[in-house]
């Protein structure tokens, strides 16, 4: 039976650390860190993520406001809003909830954020710093995974880490973090054009699934004793639930759990870690601004 990596408990640890650091700063006369969240439109999933971020911020003493705009806001108007937040000395971190409506170019908006306030670590300057191993903001989901491995005392040096998925928010930045000196994994990134993916996955000491496909990783894709990290969040119909669905990951948990040495559940695994890293980044932004 695999050891279950409890993302809720680990993220609670990190949130407590951030809370203590915020309390320490305010007791030294600094104002509380402040996160500005921009939400465009009424997508229920985005609204729910944003509510979660605001609640988590409040719990650790980080100030935050959600600025909500209608779906038909113009691109230039949104760029002006970001510019205003860049120039506002009371704002430490800026988060624009993605995806944006189709008529707005996500990339233009991300590129407009001051890299010093880029707590999502999506700006090209932040990504560049990550790739060359400079100090900077951490990409929330990948850094949350690294924290999970570190706090679970999982050896990464010299290990083969296979990541399934090459998105800009998970697969690619995680590959860079696992390659970094100090992590020292040998990294393979798989995607939809990868040939014979199961045989590559079976070579993994650490297997990360970030695909967005319910139960994609089956038992025959996992080496006995591997560490399995499930990033996926997928809805599957479930009439026994009041809301008519339940959330599952990209890993067939029931089948893989007996084989793996460690495994993350969904929900309660990687998800909570993502918000914890966002709080760490907002604290870092505030510390850097006041330095
Ligand atoms: P994307 O859709 O951006 O990327 C999915 C990746 O999976 C792509 O690189 C794609 O390959 C690859 N892929 C798709 N089908 C296959 C296949 N059959 N074989 C191999 N690779 C395949 O997704 P994200 O990275 O944004 O998210 C992935 C999952 O993680 C989603 O379920 C999402 O909800 C979840 N997620 C969870 C977070 C958390 O906090 N827990 C945070 C972010 C995401 P290609 O590039 O070739 O198309």
Which tens digits make up the pLDDT trace of 17-53? Answer: 999 999 999 999 999 999 999 999 999 989 999 999 9
Q: Which atom of ligand 1 is nearest to the CA of 194?
A: 20
What is the distance between the alpha carbons of residues 24 and 6, in angstroms, rounded to a whole number?
28
Instruction: Please provide residue 130's backbone torsions phi and psi, each rounded to the nearest 5 degrees.
Output: -65, -45
CB of 86 within 6 A of ligand 1: the answer is no
Q: Ligand 1 centroid vs 61 CA: distance in angstroms?
A: 33
Q: H/E element holding 65?
A: strand 63-69
Mean pLDDT, rounded, for 153-182: 98
Cα 45 to the center of its chain, rounded Å: 15
pLDDT band at 1 (very low <50, low <70, confident <90, very high): confident
Residue among 106, 140, 143, 191 whose CB has most ligand 1 atoms within 8 A, to mutate: 191
CB of 166 within 6 A of ligand 1: the answer is yes
Contacts of 100 (CB under 8 A, 6+ apart): 40, 41, 78, 106, 109
CB of 169 within 6 A of ligand 1: the answer is yes
Which tens digits make up the pLDDT trace of 110-156? Answer: 999 999 999 999 999 999 999 999 999 999 999 999 999 999 999 99
Mean pLDDT, rounded, for 186-194: 98
Question: What DSSP designation does 67 have?
Answer: E
Q: Which atom of ligand 1 is nearest to the CA of 274?
A: 40
Q: How many other C-beta atoms lie within 10 A of the C-beta of residue 242?
A: 7
Lay out the sheet containing 93-96: strands in order across: 63-69, 34-40, 93-96
Q: How many other C-beta atoms lie within 10 A of the C-beta of residue 44?
A: 7
Query: Which residues in 100-139 are b (16+ Cβ under 10 Å) and which e?
Result: bbeebeeeebbbbbbbbbbbbbbbebbbebbeeeeebbbb
Q: Which atom of ligand 1 is nearest to the CA of 193?
A: 47
* pTM for the whole structure: 0.97
* Domains recognised in the chain with CATH numbers: 30-115 (3.40.50.10860), 140-271 (3.40.50.720)
Contacts of 69 (CB under 8 A, 6+ apart): 38, 39, 40, 41, 77, 78, 81
């Amino acid at each position: 039976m695999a050891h279950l990596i409890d993302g809720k408990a680990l993220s609670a640890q990190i949130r407590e650390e951030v809370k203590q650091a915020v309390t320490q700063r305010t007791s030294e006369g600094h104002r509380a860190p402040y996160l500005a969240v921009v939400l465009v439109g009424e997508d229920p999933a985005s609204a729910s993520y944003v509510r979660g971020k605001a609640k988590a911020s409040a719990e650790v003493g980080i100030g935050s406001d959600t600025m909500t705009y209608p779906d038909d806001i113009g691109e230039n108007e949104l760029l002006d809003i970001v510019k205003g937040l860049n120039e506002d000395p009371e704002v430490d971190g800026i988060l624009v909830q993605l995806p944006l409506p189709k008529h707005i170019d996500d990339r233009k908006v991300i590129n407009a954020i001051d890299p010093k306030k880029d707590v999502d670590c999506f700006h090209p300057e932040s990504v560049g710093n990550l790739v060359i191993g400079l100090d900077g903001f951490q990409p929330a989901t990948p850094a949350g995974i690294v924290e999970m491995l570190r706090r679970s005392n999982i050896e990464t040096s010299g290990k083969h880490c296979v990541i399934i998925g090459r998105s800009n928010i998970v697969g690619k930045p995680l590959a860079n973090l696992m390659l970094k000196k100090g992590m020292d994994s040998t990294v393979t990134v798989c995607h939809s054009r990868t040939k014979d993916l199961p045989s590559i996955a079976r070579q993994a000491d650490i297997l990360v699934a970030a695909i967005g496909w319910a139960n994609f990783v089956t038992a025959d894709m996992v080496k006995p004793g591997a560490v399995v990290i499930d990033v996926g969040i997928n809805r599957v119909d479930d009439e026994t639930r009041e809301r008519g669905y339940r959330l599952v990951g990209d890993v067939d948990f029931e089948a893989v759990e007996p084989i793996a040495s460690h495994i993350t559940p969904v929900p309660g695994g990687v998800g909570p870690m993502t918000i914890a890293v966002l709080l760490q980044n907002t604290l870092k932004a505030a510390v850097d601004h006041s330095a």
